[in-house]
């Protein structure tokens, strides 16, 4: 008769442990081993028990809500086993509860408002269809508790998302330029207002913003009852309403169904200045609603690849430009390409109008500057004329990275300028003290990089 | 020992790459109506014996051994002789949009011991990979897994192979199931449990970033498994990419775990994993990630803003760690600043961790799965059977795409 498999497993696990630990006191070791096994199995058992108790359907791992609803509640029965009791944050802060924006009611309110820029909605919940039903479940902990954490967190496995692969190397070669569709100044300003509150657009700089608005393409909707987007379809475009109006429908099944009831129920409408489908600017998630025209209308459309490519190209060019500038700075000549790219990433862009004193002779220097666009002049006390002129790609103030010596001259912008700047603290946070970086310098290499107005920083620091 | 196994696993290692490819090609053309030549048959048996030897010992490799050329390593090579028929598909362990992972054992085991040895076989259908535009991601996945095979806390790709319409990755089986399941069952982990799992993740990220130049890009409890001894194994390298010192732009990840720079498309690198690691530690301790909403766009808005709120019972050290990791500005983000992973390891929240012992799996994990045997699947959920109607991988497609899959 053979031994039970459970027994053999335990014994072979024990054998492995014995081999690994080579204990002196074998009996005690074995006793400890079994005690640990018992403890761990029991902990596991308790966990599953507790879970089954608190979840009506038993296999609650797949449930979409916390059994007790608010994970920050302190119901005493739950603070056992491997768990850790956490109490609700006491101090009251002004952040609105994320629960407050749970989809249907608020999205409806928003969509019904016709204030430009406010009528936006995403693809609604981009999660799997069943996830949507639960938003109607009332939070168990008083809704008046404005600072409670989302009580309806989706506890299912989360699906990974991805967009089309974007490769800057190829775009640098094929000279891609974003499509450009001319617009009147009024249209421009309406479009700007329509996206003003959308976080995907608020971070854009002027140039990116102009490219994105230029790429918006007019899309006439000739009549009512046209389905611009269909729930469940793959989303590629984001839309802004120029004129006309649209109704928004959600079918509980997660997708548009055939037949008269197929649209599902109406959850809102959207008019001029409103927008919809912005999740399509991130990746191709299924549309969470169907949008139908109620009259002859006009839309502006933007597709994801164009949008993300505009962002990528400008980021890519900016990074390469900064890396190029940094290569010219003798003080930083010994940075590895990896370090240079980190510094380039950390450079902050600032704009100054003409006539701004960017650094002031005699001040303690804290930051280093690269002139990205525009021109500037260098003045020294007691000299009438500028002692030097800076153009695109020139840098100044780099000794501030090295020491606290006062600025040796003032730099004043002669046009509007754009500078890329990095503080000494920022540099040290990333790479440590500049002295350390310079010490690995080959002195002969330093000499080769030296040019007119640069001081050999090594000579100075010693 | 290593060289002995190497010889068994790589009977063809003296052949040039070109010869191997052409033999794969022949295989496709006539796999059903031609008897294997004796030599090939022998090579297959050798290969299977090698797999069994690895399964038997499963000893992690040292960083130096892992770095060896995948074709000269005991694990992670591309096999020209293995086929799906060599394995019996026992049960589905997980499914994705274009892949299915099966628990498998050898279909003709040589002895009783071998009958007990199991693997996880990830099967990807070429048609689906192409339709879902994941060709590049799948290639990255195989190549990264080959490069890191043997790491103590990363799923080991023992071998990869392909046939006319599918790609296969033979992985070690982790019977403990997903950390995700334990976390949801427990609702949240206590500090010591969280610290232990977080620390093993730090070792993984340190290795991937600083030794391999790889960004993982999909850290979340669903992708972390527990092995029979209670240690972690990171799985699903579908988005992993060798980035080295260049930034990359393709958006990928999981909504709640996306880093702000990924959402804004300003270029991202290994720093995204440190952001996601902060979210992960938060989810361990709290039971849900810090940024969440029904509407994914609202999640992204919160992420870009980057204000993390902590429950008051969270320890100051844990808050400090998470704040450091979940910093929007990458030039200030812990893990990405000076020191890299070492700065994370030195954080006070990890003060009780013996990093050296941890790497050598000498620290006992908080959960040791209770198992009936090596092939126990109780820790995995049930999945729907595979749909029967499949789009065929046509000859035209194979002519166009097979070149992309030649590394498999």
pLDDT digits (tens, 9 = 90+) for B200-217: 999 999 999 999 999 999
Residue B328: inside a domain = yes
Indicate if the pLDDT at residue B340 is higher than 90. yes
Cβ-defined contact of B296 to A127 (cutoff 8 Å): yes
Does the structure show a pLDDT above 70 at B4? Answer: no
Assigned domain for B49 exists:
no
Residues A378-399: pLDDT tens digits? Answer: 999 989 899 999 999 899 998 8
Q: What is the pLDDT of residue B65?
A: 82
From the list A347, A368, A364, A360, the residue with the least C-alpha distance to A430 is A347
Residues of A (55-84) whose Cβ lies below 8 Å from B: 61-62, 66, 71-72, 78, 81-84
pLDDT at A451 over 60: no
A300 or B392, greater pLDDT: A300
Q: Who has greater pLDDT, A257 or A132? A: A257
A207 is in an annotated binding site: no
Position A172 scores a pLDDT of 56
Across the interface, do A82 and B189 touch by the CB < 8 Å criterion? yes
For residues B268 and B2, the model is more confident at: B268
Average pLDDT over residues B257-279: 96
Give the whole-number percent of chain A exceeding pLDDT 90: 43
A429: distance to nearest CA of chain B, Å? 6
Q: For residues A281 and A164, give the distance between their C-alpha atoms in angstroms, rounded to a whole number.
A: 11
Per-residue model confidence (pLDDT) at position A308: 94
For residues B92 and B71, what is the distance between their CA atoms, to the nearest angstrom?
Answer: 29
DSSP 8-state assignment for residue B160: E
Any chain B CB within 8 A of the CB of A150?
A: yes
Residues B288 and B334 in one domain: yes
Residue B81 to residue B74: CA distance in whole angstroms: 16
In whole angstroms, give the CA distance from residue A147 to residue A152.
14
Q: Which residue of B has its CA nearest to A104?
A: B294
Q: Which of residues 265-304 of A touch B (CB under 8 A)?
A: 278-279, 282-283, 285
Pair (B349, B250) in one structural domain: yes
Is the pLDDT at A141 greater than 50? The verdict is: no
Chain A residue numbers touching B222 (CB-CB < 8 A): 157-158
Q: Please, are residues A158 and B255 in contact by the beta-carbon 8 Å criterion?
A: yes
Residue B9 lies in a domain: no
Of B215, B319, B225, B196, residue with least CA distance to B269 = B215
Residue A349 has pLDDT above 60, yes or no: yes
Q: Look at B288 and A9 and tell me if their CB atoms are within 8 Å.
A: no
- Kindly report the CATH number assigned to the domain that includes residue B72: 3.30.200.20
Type and span of the H or E element at A246? strand A246-250
CA distance A239 to A277: 6
Asked if residue B366 is part of any domain, the answer here is no
In which residue are the tokens 């990405």 written? Answer: B336
Within 8 A of A279 by CB-CB distance, chain B residues are 296-297
Three-state SS for A74?
coil
Q: How far apart are the CA of B188 and the nearest CA of chain A, in angstroms? A: 6
User: Worst-scoring range by mean pLDDT, A255-264, B8-17, B265-274?
Assistant: B8-17
Is B164 in the same domain as B222? no
**Chain A residues in contact with B330 (beta carbon < 8 A):** 345-346
Looking up tokens 């095979």 gives: B149
Residue B5 lies in a domain: no
Q: Does the pLDDT at position B2 exceed 80?
A: no
Tens of pLDDT, residues A160-212: 998 888 887 655 556 788 899 999 999 999 999 999 888 999 889 888 999 99
Report pLDDT for B235.
93
Show the domain range for B278.
179-359
CA-CA distance, A106 to A100, in Å (whole number)? 8
| CA separation, residue B113 to residues B6, B44, B117, B228 (Å) | 22, 19, 7, 18
Check whether B126 has a pLDDT greater than 80. yes
Tell whether B91 and B155 lie within a shared domain. yes
- Which residues, in sequence order, are bridge partners of residue A364? A406
- Round to whole Å and give the CA distance between A333 and A352: 28
Write the DSSP symbol of residue A95: P
Q: What percent of chain B stands above pLDDT 90?
A: 55
pLDDT at A297 over 90: yes
Using the Cβ of A316 and the Cβ atoms of chain B, whether some distance falls under 8 Å is answered with yes
Average pLDDT over residues B10-39: 50
To the question of pTM greater than 0.90 for the whole model, the response is no
pLDDT band per the 50, 70, 90 thresholds, residue B76: confident
Closest to A43 measured CA to CA, from B224, B171, B1, B185: B185
Residues B94 and B190 occupy one common structural domain? no
Cβ of B267 within 8 Å of Cβ of A319? The answer is yes
Catalytic residue check, B218: yes
Nearest CA in chain A to B244: A338
Question: How far A382 CA lies from chain B's nearest CA (Å)?
Answer: 40
Q: How many CA atoms lie within 13 A of A124 on its CB side?
A: 33
Q: Looking at the structure, tell me whether residues B199 and B338 fall in a common domain.
A: yes
| Higher per-residue pLDDT: B7 or A274 | A274
Count Cα neighbours of B190 within 13 Å in the Cβ-side half-sphere.
Answer: 13
Residue B245 sits in the same domain as residue B272: yes
- Whether residue B139 contacts residue B407, with contact meaning beta carbons closer than 8 Å, is answered with yes
With respect to residue B343, please indicate whether it lies within any of the assigned structural domains.
Answer: yes
- Chain B residues within 8 A of A71 when measuring between CB atoms: 187-188, 286-288
Count how many pairs of residues, chain A against chain B, have C-beta atoms within 8 Å: 231
What is the predicted pLDDT for the residue at A151?
A: 57
Q: Which position among B86, B218, B376, B402 bears the catalytic label? A: B218
Q: Could you tell me whether strands A120-121 and A275-276 are parallel, antiparallel, or unpaired per DSSP bridges?
A: parallel
Mean pLDDT of chain A: 75
Q: Is residue B50 part of a domain?
A: no
* Helix (H) or strand (E) run with residue B92 in it: strand B87-95
* Chain B closest-CA separation from residue A254 CA (Å): 14
Dihedrals phi, psi of B122, to nearest 5 degrees: -95, 120
A389 is in an annotated binding site: no
One domain for residues B220 and B348: yes
Determine which of A230-239, B289-298, B371-380 has the lowest per-residue pLDDT on average.
Answer: B371-380
Q: Is a pLDDT exceeding 60 seen at residue A424? A: yes
The whole-number pLDDT of residue A228 equals: 96
pLDDT tens-digit readout, B274-284: 999 999 999 99
CATH of the domain at B265: 1.10.510.10
Q: Within a domain: residue B39?
A: no
pLDDT at A156 over 90: no
Q: How far is it, in rounded angstroms, from Cα B256 to Cα B302?
A: 10
Same structural domain, B349 and B212: yes
- A326 touches A340 (CB < 8 A): yes
Closest to B170 (Cα-Cα) out of B23, B12, B3, B51:
B51
pLDDT over 70 percentage in chain A: 70
Number of domains present in the structure of chain B? 2
CA distance to A61, A66, A69, per residue, from A56 (Å)? 11, 11, 13
Which alpha helices (DSSP H) does A97-182 contain, by range? 103-112, 130-133, 168-174
Q: Does A127 touch chain B (CB under 8 A)?
A: yes
Instruction: Report d(CA B201, CA A169) in Å as an integer.
Output: 32
Mean pLDDT of A30-45: 80
Regarding whether B284 and B165 lie in a shared domain, the answer is no
Q: Are residues B100 and B228 in the same domain?
A: no
B77 vs A453, higher pLDDT: B77
Among the listed residues A414, A177, A316, the one whose alpha carbon sits nearest the alpha carbon of residue A324: A316
Radius of gyration of chain B from its Cα atoms, rounded to whole angstroms: 22
Q: Which residue has the higher pLDDT, B20 or B130?
A: B130
3 state DSSP class of B399: helix
Beta-bridge mates of residue A173: none
> What SS3 state is found at B284?
helix
Cα distance between residue A54 and residue A259, in whole Å: 41
Instruction: Please indicate whether residue B80 or residue A288 has the higher confidence score (pLDDT).
Output: A288
The C-alpha of A78 sits at a distance from chain B's nearest C-alpha, in angstroms, of 9
CA B97, CA A421: separation in Å to the nearest integer? 45
C-alpha to C-alpha distance for B323 and B265, rounded to whole angstroms: 22
Do both B267 and B225 map to the same domain?
yes
Let me know if B116 is exposed, middle or buried by CB neighbors in 10 A (0-12, 13-18, 19+): middle
Q: Encoding tokens for residue B280?
A: 């992960």
DSSP code for A364: B
């Amino acid at each position: 008769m053979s031994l039970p498999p459970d027994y053999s497993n335990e014994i072979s696990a024990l054998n492995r442990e014995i081999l690994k630990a080579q204990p002196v006191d074998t009996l005690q070791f074995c006793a400890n081993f079994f005690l640990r096994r018992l403890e761990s199995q029991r902990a596991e058992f308790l966990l599953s028990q507790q879970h089954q108790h608190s979840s009506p359907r038993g296999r609650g791992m797949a449930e979409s809500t916390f059994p007790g609803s608010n994970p920050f509640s302190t119901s005493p029965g739950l603070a056992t086993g491997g768990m850790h009791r956490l109490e609700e944050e006491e101090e009251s802060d002004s952040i609105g509860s994320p629960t407050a924006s749970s989809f249907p009611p608020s999205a409806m309110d928003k969509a019904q408002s016709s204030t430009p820029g406010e009528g936006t909605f995403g693809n609604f919940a981009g999660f799997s269809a069943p996830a949507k039903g639960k938003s109607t479940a009332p939070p168990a902990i008083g809704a008046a508790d404005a600072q409670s954490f989302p009580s309806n967190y989706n506890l299912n496995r989360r699906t990974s998302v991805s967009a089309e692969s974007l490769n800057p190397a190829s775009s640098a070669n094929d000279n891609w330029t974003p499509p450009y569709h001319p617009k009147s100044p009024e249209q421009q300003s309406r479009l700007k207002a329509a996206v003003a509150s959308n976080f995907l657009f608020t971070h854009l700089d002027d140039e990116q913003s102009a490219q994105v608005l230029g790429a918006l393409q007019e899309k006439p909707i000739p009549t009512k009852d046209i389905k611009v987007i269909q729930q469940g379809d793959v989303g590629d475009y984001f839309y802004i309403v120029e004129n006309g109006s649209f109704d928004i429908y959600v079918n509980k099944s997660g997708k548009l169904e055939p037949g008269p009831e197929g649209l599902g129920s109406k959850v809102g409408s959207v008019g001029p200045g409103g927008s919809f489908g912005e999740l399509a600017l991130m990746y191709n998630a299924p549309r969470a609603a169907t949008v139908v025209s109620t009259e002859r209308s006009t839309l502006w459309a933007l597709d994801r690849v164009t949008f993300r490519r505009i962002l990528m190209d400008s980021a890519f060019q900016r990074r390469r430009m900064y890396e190029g500038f940094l290569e010219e700075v003798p003080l930083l000549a010994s940075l590895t390409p990896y370090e240079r790219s980190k510094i380039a990433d950390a450079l902050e862009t600032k704009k100054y109008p003409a006539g701004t004193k960017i650094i002031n002779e005699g001040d303690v220097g804290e930051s280093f500057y690269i002139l990205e666009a525009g021109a500037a002049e260098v003045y020294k006390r007691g000299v009438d004329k500028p002692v030097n002129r800076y153009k695109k790609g020139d840098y100044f103030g780099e000794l501030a990275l090295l020491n606290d010596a006062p600025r040796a001259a003032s730099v004043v912008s002669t046009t509007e300028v754009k500078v890329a700047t990095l503080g000494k603290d920022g540099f040290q946070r990333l790479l440590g003290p500049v002295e350390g970086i310079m010490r690995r310098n080959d002195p002969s290499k330093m000499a080769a990089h030296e040019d007119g107005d640069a001081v050999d920083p090594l000579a100075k620091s010693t | 020992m290593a060289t002995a196994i190497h010889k068994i696993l790589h009977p063809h290692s003296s052949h040039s790459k070109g010869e191997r490819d052409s033999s794969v090609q022949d295989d496709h053309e006539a796999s059903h109506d031609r008897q294997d030549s004796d030599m090939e048959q022998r090579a297959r048996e050798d290969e299977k014996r090698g797999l069994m030897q690895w399964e038997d010992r499963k000893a992690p490799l040292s960083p130096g051994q892992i770095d060896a050329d995948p074709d000269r390593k005991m694990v992670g090579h591309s096999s020209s002789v293995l086929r799906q028929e060599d394995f019996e598909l026992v049960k589905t362990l997980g499914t994705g949009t274009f892949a299915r992972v099966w628990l498998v054992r050898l279909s003709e085991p040589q002895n009783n011991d071998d009958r007990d040895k199991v693997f996880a076989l990830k099967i990807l259908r070429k048609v689906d990979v192409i339709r879902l535009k994941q060709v590049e991601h799948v290639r990255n996945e195989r190549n990264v897994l080959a490069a890191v095979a043997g790491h103590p806390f990363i799923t080991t790709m023992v071998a990869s192979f392909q046939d006319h319409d599918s790609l296969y990755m033979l992985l070690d089986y982790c019977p403990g199931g997903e950390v995700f399941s334990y976390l949801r069952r427990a609702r949240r982990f206590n500090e010591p449990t969280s610290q232990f799992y977080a620390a093993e993740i730090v070792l993984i990220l340190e290795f991937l970033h600083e030794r391999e130049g790889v960004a993982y890009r999909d850290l979340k409890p669903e992708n972390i498994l527990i092995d029979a001894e209670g240690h972690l194994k990171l799985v699903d390298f579908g988005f992993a990419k060798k980035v080295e010192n260049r930034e990359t732009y393709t958006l990928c990840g999981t909504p709640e775990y996306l880093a702000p720079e990924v959402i804004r498309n300003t270029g991202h690198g290994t720093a995204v994993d440190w952001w996601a690691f902060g979210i992960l530690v938060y989810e361990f301790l709290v039971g849900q990630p810090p940024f969440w909403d029904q509407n994914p766009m609202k999640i992204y808005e919160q992420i870009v803003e980057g204000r993390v709120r902590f429950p008051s019972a969270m320890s100051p050290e844990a808050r400090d760690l998470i704040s450091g990791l979940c910093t929007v500005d990458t030039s200030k983000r812990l893990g990405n600043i000076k020191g890299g992973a070492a700065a994370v390891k030195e954080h006070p929240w990890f003060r009780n961790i013996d990093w050296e012992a941890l790497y050598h799996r000498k620290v006992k994990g908080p959960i040791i799965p209770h198992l009936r045997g090596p092939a126990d699947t109780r820790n995995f959920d049930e999945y729907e059977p595979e749909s029967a109607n499949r789009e065929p991988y046509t000859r035209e497609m194979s002519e166009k795409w097979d070149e992309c899959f030649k590394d498999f």
